[in-house]
């Protein structure tokens, strides 16, 4: 069962440490999700970013909830198998997404 391998982290401590290290600065944790909004020059750049995220997410078998309107992409991450809360898997995907920018 996938749930047994998922670790739920203390969110405030983790996000504080990330900000101190200058990583995951696009993300905020709210309502048991990691959320970020990314803005691009135009729709083509936004769509290209989403394509890159899709490849990473598929390799991880961990897929975001997201939306796209013109040059803006909103992403929400949580882990269904852990009761729709934020886990290390979400944090790992968020870090990988940030590296695509």
In this prediction, residue 11 carries a pLDDT of: 55
At residue 31, what are phi and psi to the nearest 5 degrees?
50, 45
The answer, yes or no, to whether residue 1 has pLDDT greater than 80, is: no
In this prediction, residue 25 carries a pLDDT of: 75
In this prediction, residue 85 carries a pLDDT of: 92
What would the DSSP string read from start to end of 18-56? Answer: HHHHT-STT-EEETTEEEEEEE-SSHHHHHHHHHHHHHH
User: What whole-number percentage of the chain has pLDDT above 70?
Assistant: 76
The answer, yes or no, to whether residue 63 has pLDDT greater than 60, is: yes
> Pick the residue with more confidence: 90 or 25?
90
The label of the residue with tokens 């886990």 reads 87
Q: Tell me the C-alpha to C-alpha distance, in Å, between residue 55 and each of 14, 73, 80.
A: 26, 16, 20
Contact call for residues 27 and 92 (beta carbons, < 8 A): no
Span 32-38, mean pLDDT? 96
The answer, yes or no, to whether residue 34 has pLDDT greater than 80, is: yes
């Amino acid at each position: 069962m996938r749930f047994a391998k998922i670790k739920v982290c203390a969110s405030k401590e983790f996000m504080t440490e990330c900000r101190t290290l200058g990583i995951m600065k696009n993300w905020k944790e709210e309502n048991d999700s990691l959320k970020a909004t990314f803005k691009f020059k135009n729709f083509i750049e936004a769509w290209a970013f989403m394509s890159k995220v899709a490849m990473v997410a598929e390799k991880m078998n961990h897929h975001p909830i997201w939306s796209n309107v013109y040059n803006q992409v909103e992403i929400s991450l949580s882990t269904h198998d852990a009761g729709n809360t934020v886990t290390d898997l979400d944090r790992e995907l968020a870090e990988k997404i940030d590296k695509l920018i």
